[in-house]
Structure 1
Amino acid sequence: MKFVRVPAGEFMMGSGEPAESLSRDYPAYAPEDLQALGDEGPRHRVRITRAFWLGQHEVTVDQFRRFLEASGYTPESIADGTGGYGYNPAYDPASSARGERFEGRNPRYAWHDPGFPQTGGDPVVNVSWNDAVAMARWLSEREGVRYRLPTEAEWEYACRAGTTTRYSTGDDAASLLGAAALLDLDTAQRWPNRLPFALPGHDGYVFTAPVGSFAPNAFGLFDMHGNVWEWVADRYGEHYYAESPTDDPPGPAAGDLHVRRGGSWATSALYLRSSYRNWNTAQTRYTLVGMRLLREAMPRDD
């Protein structure tokens, strides 16, 4: 895996954007959907006091496969016998609350088969938070350097890469074309009910894209917006921003939910904003969720 050095620094984390302005630019969403974004605030100053190395790309199918072969680790979707989620074009979307053609949990699906074709260079999906932590722990033990998931603050700092706009590419969702795999007209072909939420345009991929297929941000990091949701280290706290420390906030000390960031290949532009937060249990595995690892800087790196 290639890692990019992210320097220490400070930034304004979160968003204080009112629902009215979001409603203007994302008209397909109901007011209650936009009001639910209140956990992105208050916008607050955060200092990242130490440089770190972040994966230039999301962890790929081939990289995850090599981890399993070398470590003997069994992913949760296989270990617990319940499998993951998968795309099934024959699945009745009426069976899903959102009209999706994803079915699961089902033992036929796991990290190596999400029901749609992937190359070894595509980001791995159907990995749980526990799977991601296990891979980081194994790498740490093998190399004698600490690997882990980034904190939510580190992730957003790296995603923004010095920007203060909705995306690292600007405020206009159209700026994501050429920088992200997301819900566009290509993907919406499979989900007609999502067409009102799709970004007009084409990113060239219906499902995941091989990592590095689009332009990087100013730090040289690829796919921070879209492709797959990325697990971060933090537990989720709806009101954590109001009480978090300024320096290197670690997230809540307790909680059953873990944060994921960045959006995915089937996620609308509203949810690809740098400030957006989502969460799942540590055991969740899904066709949209993957990971990116952080390597802590050694003293000689600072």
Structure 2
Amino acid sequence: MSIRVLIIISFSILSVVLFTGYPAVVCGETETVTGMEFVSVKGGCFQMGDTTGEGDPNERPAHEVCVSDFSMGKYEVTNEQFRKFRSSHDSGKFERLTLNEDKQPVVNVSWDDATAYAKWLSSKSGHTFRLPTEAEWEYAARGGTASSRYWGNDNAEACKYANVADATAKKSFPKWTSFNCSDGYLVSAPVGSFKPNAYGLYDMLGNAWEWVEDVYNAEAYSKLPKSNPIYEGVGEYRVERGGGWSNGPLGIRSSHRVGL
């Protein structure tokens, strides 16, 4: 499982300018410890959850949620960046194919590892970093869209925007459910290899699953407030979002959520 972090911005220090209107994005902020780039996203309201009828029960009910302004990592955290925190980290292999290249997303990290990385980065940089909430993550992933995927619902378009289970993977793993296209990678790709969404964020769907802050609860959507929700109740698991390189259409959706 991979990481994408969010920064709580001190606007006077970082000199970030947010435009009015929706959507509004400010790009170009880079933190100096690991070189991660950030995209600033203007907050707003959206329909969170399964709005198309494709999803699982834990994605319902679809409901209006509003989030405040935030800045999110432009890319998933890479092996190279994570190893500045933990030099011995091994992302492993799949079928003898490495997941350890510098620019591949870091994987095989627990939720505790992910939050420890954010805390370490906060202590080193002087700014506050954390995992995004589930609501912030979905708002960012959708990029202002209401469709299941931020590029639309044409399967053939998926491989322009995401590293997913594709036609090539289907040949090697015939039991996999796949998209009818080829993305050029059998396992994880270097971050930023595909087109971004409308907010300038890369790999929000596919490539590697991403941890978020929330405790997993299948019925969380019926229990949370409208404004900046986060589920912090008792639970054994945390939420993961976005799907990965081995996922087909069901797992590659902006509203898809699992607990691990």
One fold, TM greater than 0.5?
A: yes
Residues 1:67 and 2:107 are matched in the alignment = no
Higher relative contact order (CA 8 A, sep 6+): 1
1:198 pairs with 178, 181, 196, which one? 178
Q: CA deviation at 1:171?
A: 2.3
Counterpart Cα distance in 1 of 2:204 and 2:175:
26
Equivalent residue of 2:46, what SS? strand
Contact 1:152 1:233 in 2 (8 A): yes
Query: TM-score when scaled to structure 1?
Result: 0.71
Residues 1:143 and 2:125 are matched in the alignment = yes
Q: Structure 1 or 2: larger helix share?
A: 1
* 1:39 corresponding residue in structure 2: 58
Counterpart Cα distance in 2 of 1:52 and 1:224:
16
Q: CA deviation at 1:154?
A: 0.2
Counterpart Cα distance in 2 of 1:186 and 1:277:
26
| Unaligned runs of at least 5 residues, structure 2 | 1-35
* 1:3 corresponding residue in structure 2: 38
Contact 1:184 1:199 in 2 (8 A): yes
Q: Which amino acid aligns with 1:242?
A: S
- Note the alpha carbon deviations across 1:131-177, whole angstroms, 9 max, x for none: 10000011111222110100000000000011001111112233212
| Unaligned runs of at least 5 residues, structure 1 | 23-33, 78-83, 90-114, 281-302
Q: CA deviation at 1:279?
A: 1.4
Contact 1:259 1:278 in 2 (8 A): yes
Q: Which amino acid aligns with 2:114?
A: A
Displaced runs of 4 or more, over 6 A: none
Contact 1:211 1:222 in 2 (8 A): yes
* 1:152 corresponding residue in structure 2: 134
Contact 1:237 1:252 in 2 (8 A): no
Q: Which amino acid aligns with 2:66?
A: R
Q: Which amino acid aligns with 2:59?
A: E
Counterpart Cα distance in 2 of 1:247 and 1:57:
26
Contact 2:92 2:99 in 1 (8 A): no
Equivalent residue of 1:270, what SS? coil
Number of matched pairs: 225
Q: CA deviation at 1:52?
A: 1.0
Equivalent residue of 2:84, what SS? helix
* 2:189 corresponding residue in structure 1: 209
Q: CA deviation at 1:257?
A: 0.5
Contact 2:92 2:98 in 1 (8 A): no
1:230 pairs with 210, 219, 223, which one? 210
Q: CA deviation at 1:221?
A: 0.2
State the structure with more CA Rg. Answer: 1
Query: TM-score when scaled to structure 2?
Result: 0.82
Counterpart Cα distance in 2 of 1:206 and 1:137:
33
1:279-298 residue pairs with structure 2 within 5 A? 279-280=259-260
* 2:47 corresponding residue in structure 1: 12
- Note the alpha carbon deviations across 1:18-72, whole angstroms, 9 max, x for none: 3xxx4xxxxxxxxxxx6xx111110000010x21110000000100111224xxx
Q: CA deviation at 1:85?
A: 6.6
Q: CA deviation at 1:251?
A: 1.3
1:112-191 residue pairs with structure 2 within 5 A? 116=98, 118-191=100-173
CA RMSD of aligned residues (A): 1.8
* 1:80 corresponding residue in structure 2: none
Counterpart Cα distance in 2 of 1:42 and 1:16:
9
Counterpart Cα distance in 2 of 1:180 and 1:220:
14
Counterpart Cα distance in 2 of 1:132 and 1:191:
30
Contact 1:12 1:43 in 2 (8 A): yes
Residues 1:266 and 2:246 are matched in the alignment = yes
Contact 1:58 1:211 in 2 (8 A): yes
Residues 134 and 214 from structure 1, CA distance in 2 versus in 1: closer, same or farther, beyond 3 angstroms?
A: same
Counterpart Cα distance in 2 of 1:209 and 1:88:
15
Q: CA deviation at 1:198?
A: 1.1
Q: CA deviation at 1:188?
A: 2.4
Counterpart Cα distance in 1 of 2:195 and 2:75:
12
